[in-house]
């Protein structure tokens, strides 16, 4: 099932990347501060020392903030994440990463990054922070590719696929590994 979703997402992205498009050169900002928010869904696979599960997952507001140095390269702080249910409560499997985004063509980009994993309850479920179960770990890694489907001046919409891997350290020498495969719709300002 998970492989079918990945193959489907890559097929959609490849077909949009190869589509013929005309870009208004004057409407594209090539340099400067940028911020983006991504929303979407996919599959989150989690594995601990004792159990393994994979389930449909939605994303938290995935945020990227950084600086685009020229028409090809941007350095970003990236906050990817996915939600899951544990003991009847919503949790987030997230990360803080430093990433590089590279535009292969005017609208098609790739991204890779690494950083620190955060495994925590959704903020709206926390009643007592001391018992909430906040876990961190290293490494966290991501790769992504996307295609800007529409842009005008300082705003663009993109469709992108992202794979995110992370590890969090649990009590009693436990370990939780997660792999998130998401298809996202991105809102970006540059």
DSSP H or E segment with residue 56: strand 52-58
Express as a percent the part of the chain with pLDDT over 70: 85
The answer to whether residue 39 scores a pLDDT higher than 50 is yes
The answer to whether residue 137 scores a pLDDT higher than 80 is yes
Express as a percent the part of the chain with pLDDT over 90: 64
Mean pLDDT for the stretch of residues 162-183: 94
Nearest to 82 by CA among 188, 5, 181: 181
Over residues 62-100, the pLDDT tens digits come to 999 999 999 999 999 999 989 998 888 889 999 999 999
The answer to whether residue 112 scores a pLDDT higher than 90 is yes
Q: How far apart are CA 147 and CA 45, in angstroms?
A: 25
Residue 132 has a CB neighbour count (10 Å cut-off) of 15
Greatest mean pLDDT range, 33-37, 126-130, 150-154: 33-37
The answer to whether residue 12 scores a pLDDT higher than 60 is no
Q: Are strands 174-189 and 73-79 parallel, antiparallel or unpaired?
A: unpaired
Q: Where are the alpha helices (DSSP H) in the chain?
A: 2-18
Q: Please report where in the chains the tokens 């507001």 appear, as a residue.
A: 61
**Mean of pLDDT over the chain:** 86
Q: What is the DSSP letter of 88?
A: T
The answer to whether residue 125 scores a pLDDT higher than 70 is yes
Mean pLDDT for the stretch of residues 151-174: 93
pTM (predicted TM-score): 0.81
Q: How far apart are CA 102 and CA 106, in angstroms?
A: 10
Q: How far apart are CA 95 and CA 118, in angstroms?
A: 5
CA distances (Å), 125 to each of 87, 100, 121, in order?
12, 33, 7
The answer to whether residue 10 scores a pLDDT higher than 80 is no
pLDDT at residue 5 in the model: 52
The domain segmentation of the chain, as residue ranges, is 2-18+32-189
Q: Please state which of the four CATH numbers 3.20.20.70, 2.40.160.20, 3.40.120.10, 3.40.50.300 is assigned to the domain occupying 2-18+32-189.
A: 2.40.160.20
pLDDT at residue 8 in the model: 52
């Amino acid at each position: 099932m998970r492989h079918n979703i990945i193959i489907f997402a890559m097929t959609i992205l490849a077909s949009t990347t190869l589509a013929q498009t005309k870009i208004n050169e004057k409407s594209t900002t090539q340099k400067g501060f940028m911020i983006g928010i991504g929303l979407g869904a996919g599959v989150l696979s989690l594995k601990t020392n004792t159990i393994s599960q994979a389930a449909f997952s939605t994303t938290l507001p995935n945020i990227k903030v950084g600086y685009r140095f020229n028409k090809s390269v941007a350095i970003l702080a990236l906050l990817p994440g996915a939600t899951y249910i544990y003991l009847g409560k919503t949790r987030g499997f997230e990360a803080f990463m430093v990433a590089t985004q590279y535009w292969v063509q005017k609208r098609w980009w790739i991204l890779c990054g690494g950083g620190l994993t955060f495994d925590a309850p959704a903020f709206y479920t926390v009643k007592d922070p001391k018992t909430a179960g906040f876990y961190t770990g290293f490494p966290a890694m991501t790769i992504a590719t996307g295609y800007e489907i529409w842009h005008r001046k300082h705003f663009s919409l993109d469709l992108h696929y992202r794979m995110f891997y992370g590890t969090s350290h649990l009590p009693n020498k436990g370990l939780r590994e997660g792999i998130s495969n998401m298809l996202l719709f991105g809102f970006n300002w540059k």
